[in-house]
Structure 1
Amino acid sequence: MKRAYLDNAASTPIRNEVVKVIIHTLKYSLGNPSSIQHSYGRETRSILEESRICIAKNIKASPSEIIFTSGGTEANNLVLRSSVLDLGIRHIITSQLEHPSVLQTILDLSIRYKISVDFISIDKKGILDFNNMEEILRNNIHKKILVSLMYANNEIGNLLEVDKVVFLCKKYNAYFHSDTIQVIGNLPINMEKLSFDFATASAHKFYGPKGVGFAFIRNNILKKMKPLITGGVQEYGIRSGTENIHGIAGLSEAFRLSCCTFTRHIKKMQDLKSYCISELKKIIPNIIFNGLSSHPDKSIPSILNFLYPTKKDYLLYFHLDLMGVAVSKGSSCNSNPKKTSHVIQLITDRYLLNKTMPIRISFGIFNEKGDIDTLVEALQKIRK
């Protein structure tokens, strides 16, 4: 049976080159990177810092602005919680389309520390209303504000109009955090040109290992921050605990390889997405694509989300899996099979939700057109 893995937005397959680096590091890097009194520790420390330098170089940042974490969720928590506890943030502006690691953390902060929160208005395509954003900023100008918006939506693929957000944040003296977990390692990013105060990344979104990621934090802000995890001086005193050296080495290698092949692989995913749209239109008349996911310039090339016309069959994804096709209904952090994701609920009419099931297809560098054919064949069989 042909198999097609089309859930790369949840997690990408790890590259063979990255596996080799991880195994080599596990086998030969014996020392604790904080034990610099002997050569074993210093050798391991050099892997840590060389990885930091590699990542910083490829996003045009300073190595001291890279803080390693256990992944994107921890990185988002680090940024949001430290902003409130250390930077004095009293108001957070975000959208209801954000990842649960942002939305649930903001909810917790609002309850614990009485932080006020505003959600920017969105339309049925998931497009932010920047007039509304400016109005919110203007009305809260007397408070310290953090704006938190994802660069590319992990479900519908919408790309943030970053220039507009940055302009407004500068105008009203607000900090800007972007969840860049679907972007970093998949699209070029330049922190010298982008006025982000914070950004977050996770290795398993760009063909690296699970359980490791990083936060980008500007140096002038980092100096004001205190550790959320205490008990050591690792990661510039921001995150205590012995670093996951083999994971970090794998992250660095995966990131380096991705940055070397951006042009070729972006073009490949754009072609796959275009082909998939064309094939789906052949079998589903009047197909509805969610958000801007079918727009070639306003969405990330790796994500396509559409409504599949069918009765409410929560086993649809399992039926596809039995036919060799791996897709999802949305974020893997919302895994309840009977619950439509908050993103799709927000942008879709209830009438349509009762007659359709959302399917998120996410392409990766190892996919080929044959995977799309396998998906389309499986959908046709289910319809019959």
Structure 2
Amino acid sequence: MLNGERRRRQTTGACTGRLLRSARRIVVAGAALTIGSAMMGLLAGTPASAVAGASMRLFPSARYIDVNQDKRRDTGDRVDITYKVHNAGTESLSQISVRDSAIGAVICTTTTLIPKADTACLAQHYVSLGDMNRGVLTSAATATAESAGGAVTAAGRQITTNLAGRPTLVVTSAVSVTEDGDNSGGLSIGDKVVFTFVIANEGTTTASRVAVIDPLLSSAGIHVSCNGTSLDPGAKLACRSAAMTTTTQQAHGGNLTSAAHAIGVTPSGAAIRGQGNTLVKRLGPRLNAYPHAPSASSGGSSGTAPPASTGSVPDSVTSGAGSRAPGDPASASSTWYKRSSVIAGAGTVSVLLVLGASVWWLWWRRRLRHNG
């Protein structure tokens, strides 16, 4: 009896163990099947509403078209998206349509499919400035159809088209004299000048917080104002500085040099620096006019002394007696006498020409009378 009871218990335990192992295998296989189905749904699109015998899959793909053939991605280019709709079930599908969240309605070549058949749908999206500023075009499509058992839907995988771009700021500069202090007709030390700038965005996205930086003006504390701070691709901004008086310290090598560049911010918030522009203008010394002769105290004849310099001047000027300071009366006297000598010489030549012409005329008249 005891041996029989022991054998019965051993047999029951072995059966129970086999049943438990089989149950575990079933659970593992079911989990694997569930995971596999989920992965297939992510890759190929699974029906949002399942109908017995009806199944549909959606496979999207995108292609970028450089419409203007400028070898960059910018507004006006096109993104062609193709959607392959597959009838994966055993029932025919009708009223097939595809809708894309980024594009809208999509055109399909056919709206009915027999089991295991495919159809192609196409959408074209032209890139806008908003797309460029966002940097990507995201497409998420859903297909719908009708079957004998009811409505069938399928979601395709999300497609992202990279539209990486950035603004490119280019500045051009100009300077004009607003007050010619020495009436020289050119740019000289002591004149008042105004700088003007034009900033162009030659990039593919919008630039914000646009401004001009010029070390020459910054060091002099001169403000530059623009007629805006935002610049779309292809647009321009005009900027103008306050008036600045040129100084000797700014005349590096006899030139006034402006090295301006533009700054701004991309749509993503990154700071950018535009291409620089260097403007070099000849900056001459300040000229002084002496309309009257220098006074006797300066070593010359009586008259009105030359006016004192009213602006910055070069370190020295050279006269006939050597190098003298610009405000030295002797230097001014020498300059005045040189000018007087030139005028006197010209007058003498004129008198001689008149006398010569008169003598010739008298001689010619006497000859005519003699011949007559």
TM range (shorter): under 0.3
Q: Which has the higher helix share?
A: 1
What TM-score, normalized to structure 1? Answer: 0.17
Report the structure number with the largest CA radius of gyration.
2
Q: Which has the higher strand share?
A: 2
What TM-score, normalized to structure 2? Answer: 0.17
Structure with more contact order per residue of length (Cα contacts < 8 Å, sep ≥ 6): 1
